Structure 1
Amino acid sequence: MSDDRHPPARFNAARYCLADNARLRPDKTALILVGDGTVSRLTFAEVDRAVRGIAAGLLGLGLKPGDRVMIRMGNDADYALLHFGAMAAGLVALPSSPQLTEPEAAFLMENSGAAAVAIGGGCTVSPAALGGRLRLDADGIAALKAGPPLPGYADTAADDPAMLIYTSGTTSRPKGVLHGHRAAYGRRPMVDHWVGLTETDVMLHAGTMNWTYTLGVGLSDPWSVGATTVLYNGPRDPSVWPRLMAEYGATLFAAVPTLYRQILKYGDLPAHDLSRLRHGCTAGEPLPVDLLDAWTAATGKPLYEALGMSEISTYISSGPTIPVRPGSPGKPQPGRRVAILPVEGAPVPLPAGESGLLAVHRSEPGLMLGYWHRPEEEAEVFRGDWFVGGDLARLDADGYLWFEGRNNDLMKAMGYRVAPNEVEVVLATHPSVAEVGVAELPVRADVSVICGFVVLQPGAAPDADALLAWCAERLAAYKRPREIRFLDALPRTANGKVQRKRLAAAAG
């Protein structure tokens, strides 16, 4: 039996996204992949056939249900087909970034105990790290796709493992976040209340295949309702996105805030017909209010933000059913069980207006199964019936969430704890500032100060005193930065998130 929140006991994520589409709309375009002068298209029938061919081939090569299949490839269609093919076979897909070095990839292979590794897109793996693992290259993948398909999809349980995602851990090594097949079903509140997807939509996603933002919002979510996805694997050029929106009739666009800002700066929005675009979606980092205002003014289209994490994806958002409140990422999506817990003490939800740790109930179907071989870290994030990921926040009387930073990002100043993004918001409003990150800067062995790391607007002169005075007018004394350092660019992950812990090193 199932209810609105939980999938059936027997549930396969790949079948959920593809089987009905292959039956009901076989000739509809599922995926358009736009490259540098090239365009490829796959229908739902072709995706379903290729995915079931890969699934049968992987099992035929001796892989067993639960085995991990690492994908170390570039941003092409085979990445998606392998991801869904592994899940269709009852295996565990392990997406990884093509930007990983060989040692980083070797760690993932070893830590996950991957039984197979798919290699492509110029990626390499050392023979020593590969060991006895099955290696799939482009020819091998093509043979799997063309081989006899599984007659259906693996009869997996909703709680069976489906995907292993590696993310930052509390140690120097990444940790694996293990998700069950039910996680695909657990995305339904965001499909309805953040993205607002329907069968008639065309989703243009700016992320790369390895990112869970792309695999989820860019592929799983559109396919779960029979919509078409457009992805791009050409040169990184922010001016290309308005053209793609117009050329492919995108009704929805998803990206990180940084890219929206770059599109406003480098993309010629008035030159393209964006009449079919209904709204934009953004996640991955906080959405500055000035960027929200600039985008809506330039396009006349809403921009909906979401807050999430690898362990549960996006579960707080604005959207078609949740009006935007500038400065807040939105509300818990309908059906979610979300609370604010005290930083210390019993896990009893706090009333509206009080700050604490953002928590999600164990019963949430989109929540991870657990951390891969990291029981000590898993124990740290569960408090009673609640998963606590380290975000500091409060819920106001209307249910909107106000994000106050990461618990482990907090700075200490004059005996007070200060959230970096509270300072960042103030600095970002200065007309000379294009981008900003805030972190502690060591000035002596035992002393650190709050520092603003600033990327200036084109033509702006570096004036640290002016920025410090700006903050003095807008922040309590203990929250003010004591130093300003100017950078050409902020250090970011491959997916665009600012790496606060690298700011001081970037400043030299």
Structure 2
Amino acid sequence: MFSVTSAEPHPPAPGPFNLAAHVLARGAALPDKMAMQIVRPTGAERWSYARLLAAVRGAGTGLLALGLAPGDRVLLRLGNVPEFPVAFLGAIAAGLVPVPTSAQLTGPEITAMAARIAPALIIAGDGVALPESPAPVLPAVDLARMGDLPPCEWHMGAPERPAYVIFTSGTSGQPQAVVHAHRAILSRALMHDGWEGLGESDRILHAGAFNWTYTLGTGLLDPWTLGATALIPGAGVTPAQLPLLLKRFDATILAAAPGVFRQMLRAPLPALPKLRHGLSAGESLTPDLRAAWRAATGTDLHEALGMSECSTFVSGSPARPAPEGTTGYPQPGRCIAVLDDIGAPVPRGTAGQLAIDRRDPGLMLGYLDDPTATAARFHGDWFLTGDTVDMAEDGALRYLGRRDDQMNPGGFRVSPLEVEAALAGLPGAEDWAVAEVEIKPGTRVIACFYTGPEPVDPDVHSAFAASRLARYRQPRLWQHVPSLPRNANGKLNRRLLASLWNPK
């Protein structure tokens, strides 16, 4: 049997269509229900659906009054504040194209990004670095005042027209500006049961930053589409404070990157009687972390595999948990394949590149103003993800890492994820990751970087690895580091990992 799944073609998006109108349609029927709470140990800022709708549509009116026209791009320089989703959906409601970006970017970084998207307006919060750009700047406080304006009309149009632009994380190279269509929101319906187990009565807390597509989709757009409640940690909330917030605000689902779950487990967790399960994405969920979370909370973690270009499409779920050691199954309605180097499906159990049917409604329109890079991601009917996986006979997928992250010491191809999983329980280590490092010209070996209270004798670690890994997979170098390189959402930056090697 070959590694390919078939699915009925997703019905075309109804036209005319508007993503923001679709997201907020259910909330319009629940005006008094809580749509969003920005939560902190000291309390919460509460937004009903009525307030959210008024703010979004008022923002649409205000942005158009500034002279913007449908199709203009709006750069968002905002942190985890209510103005972020208001600006994002308000722009889309009016036919504008928002571009969310991380509040942690420096001036030079955001200047380079702004030059690529040529924004017509920048919406900025206090203390967030701004680009050198001719675009006018709208302070977030002025955006907030637009909520009192009359509601804008929903800008209806072709479902295929651009709705928003997001930048890839850049952990594997230069960040790309990804253009998504209004119809992308329809593919997220496949995740509600196929991954999230999300319903109208849920209160989902997402621990990531708003600009991250994982947070934006799973933490905001999905609960609002279903009429659920989004709980968002306020600026400055740490992973150590999340258990208190989960308990105090009756969260039923927690979504975060694996690194956040691991940090939360460093201290005993309180009883969380309302929590039903957790959602993990951003990097691979190791079996030891999933087991530790189950033991500490009595709930399971359900992982999803996705990317900025197509959000999530493979996952475990409460209805169909992933078998141990796998990410899960293609979500119902997804057509995917595992391809060899010439683009043909490989037999099940064979590693290859994960690909998505180019007709998937969640797939990007392309990279902004870069048709060459866009074309390079497609092979016939397939979009090439760059991820290496293998598919079991029952269709479960095992993630083996990014193709450009694969290690090749001594001519053997090795997945860093498999090595890291085998090192579960590494003596004296709290967190660990491996990378290939060059110790002299032409000689590359596997190094393990780990955090913990103090350095451990390398011979102890080597003996541990030898009991669990074939010799060619064993780290040859061990380095204690204060922390692993992670972004604001807890996602490991493998590109920077090897640079930590210190041959002293």
TM-score bin, normalised by smaller chain: over 0.9
Q: Does 1:462 align with 2:456?
A: yes
In the other structure, the counterpart of 2:365 is: 369
Deviation of the 1:461 alpha carbon? 4.8
In the other structure, the counterpart of 1:493 is: 487
* 3-state SS, counterpart of residue 266 of structure 2: helix
In the other structure, the counterpart of 1:147 is: 149
In the other structure, the counterpart of 1:42 is: 47
* Structure 2: distance between partners of 1:171 and 1:412: 17
Amino acid at match of 1:259: V
Match of 1:399 among 389, 395, 398: 395
Relative contact order (alpha carbons < 8 A, sep ≥ 6): 1 or 2 greater?
A: 2
Deviation of the 1:36 alpha carbon? 5.7
Match of 1:325 among 319, 323, 326: 323
Amino acid at match of 2:425: T
In the other structure, the counterpart of 1:163 is: 164
Deviation of the 1:430 alpha carbon? 2.2
- Across the aligned residues of Structure 1 and Structure 2, the Cα RMSD in angstroms comes to 1.9
With over 3 angstroms needed to count, the CA separation of the structure-2 counterparts of 1:146 and 1:375, relative to structure 1, is: same
In the other structure, the counterpart of 1:292 is: 290
* Structure 1: distance between partners of 2:378 and 2:319: 30
> Is the Cα contact below 8 Å between 2:448 and 2:479 reproduced in 1?
yes
- What are the superposed Cα offsets for residues 252-291 of structure 1, whole Å, 9 maximum, x if unpaired? 111111111221213x423x4x222111111111111111
Q: Does 1:482 align with 2:482?
A: no
Q: Does 1:432 align with 2:428?
A: yes
With over 3 angstroms needed to count, the CA separation of the structure-2 counterparts of 1:202 and 1:474, relative to structure 1, is: same
* Structure 2: distance between partners of 1:279 and 1:438: 29
Match of 2:25 among 19, 30, 39: 19
* Structure 2: distance between partners of 1:296 and 1:489: 25
With over 3 angstroms needed to count, the CA separation of the structure-2 counterparts of 1:225 and 1:424, relative to structure 1, is: same
* Structure 1: distance between partners of 2:10 and 2:376: 30
* Structure 2: distance between partners of 1:276 and 1:35: 18
> Among the aligned pairs, what percent are the same residue?
43
In the other structure, the counterpart of 1:124 is: 129
In the other structure, the counterpart of 1:503 is: 497
Q: Which runs of 5+ in 1 are unaligned?
A: none
Amino acid at match of 1:40: E
- What are the superposed Cα offsets for residues 302-341 of structure 1, whole Å, 9 maximum, x if unpaired? 2111111111111111112212312211111111001100
* 3-state SS, counterpart of residue 356 of structure 2: strand
* Structure 2: distance between partners of 1:297 and 1:64: 54
Q: After the TM superposition, list the runs of 4 or more consecutive aligned residues in structure 1 that deviate by more than 6 angstroms.
A: none
In the other structure, the counterpart of 1:269 is: 269
> Is the Cα contact below 8 Å between 2:436 and 2:446 reproduced in 1?
yes
* Structure 1: distance between partners of 2:237 and 2:42: 14
Matches within 5 A, 1:19-418: 19-22=25-28, 24-35=29-40, 37-125=42-130, 129-131=132-134, 133-150=135-152, 152-168=153-169, 173-266=174-267, 268-270=268-270, 272=271, 274-342=272-340, 344-345=341-342, 347-418=343-414
* Structure 2: distance between partners of 1:357 and 1:476: 24
Deviation of the 1:87 alpha carbon? 0.8
> Is the Cα contact below 8 Å between 1:36 and 1:233 reproduced in 2?
no
* 3-state SS, counterpart of residue 327 of structure 1: coil
* Structure 2: distance between partners of 1:504 and 1:85: 42
> Is the Cα contact below 8 Å between 1:187 and 1:221 reproduced in 2?
yes
* Structure 2: distance between partners of 1:33 and 1:43: 12
Amino acid at match of 1:9: G
* Structure 2: distance between partners of 1:125 and 1:110: 12
> Is the Cα contact below 8 Å between 2:21 and 2:154 reproduced in 1?
yes
Deviation of the 1:170 alpha carbon? 9.6
Amino acid at match of 2:147: K
* 3-state SS, counterpart of residue 278 of structure 2: strand
Deviates more, 1:355-364 or 1:476-485: 476-485
* Structure 2: distance between partners of 1:12 and 1:191: 20
* Structure 1: distance between partners of 2:174 and 2:345: 32
* 3-state SS, counterpart of residue 413 of structure 2: strand
With over 3 angstroms needed to count, the CA separation of the structure-2 counterparts of 1:121 and 1:192, relative to structure 1, is: farther
Deviation of the 1:5 alpha carbon? 4.7
Deviates more, 1:423-432 or 1:378-387: 423-432
Deviation of the 1:377 alpha carbon? 1.9
With over 3 angstroms needed to count, the CA separation of the structure-2 counterparts of 1:333 and 1:220, relative to structure 1, is: same
> Is the Cα contact below 8 Å between 2:207 and 2:489 reproduced in 1?
no
* Structure 2: distance between partners of 1:507 and 1:478: 20
With over 3 angstroms needed to count, the CA separation of the structure-2 counterparts of 1:139 and 1:261, relative to structure 1, is: closer
The two structures have a TM-score, normalised by structure 1, of 0.93
Deviation of the 1:236 alpha carbon? 3.3
With over 3 angstroms needed to count, the CA separation of the structure-2 counterparts of 1:374 and 1:428, relative to structure 1, is: farther
Deviation of the 1:475 alpha carbon? 2.3
Deviation of the 1:172 alpha carbon? 5.5
* 3-state SS, counterpart of residue 451 of structure 1: strand
Amino acid at match of 2:371: P
In the other structure, the counterpart of 2:4 is: none
* Structure 1: distance between partners of 2:474 and 2:300: 33
Amino acid at match of 2:17: F
Q: Which runs of 5+ in 2 are unaligned?
A: 1-7
Deviation of the 1:389 alpha carbon? 1.4
* Structure 2: distance between partners of 1:65 and 1:237: 38
- What are the superposed Cα offsets for residues 61-111 of structure 1, whole Å, 9 maximum, x if unpaired? 111211111110121000110011111111111001110001111112110
* Structure 2: distance between partners of 1:138 and 1:410: 43
* Structure 2: distance between partners of 1:171 and 1:218: 25
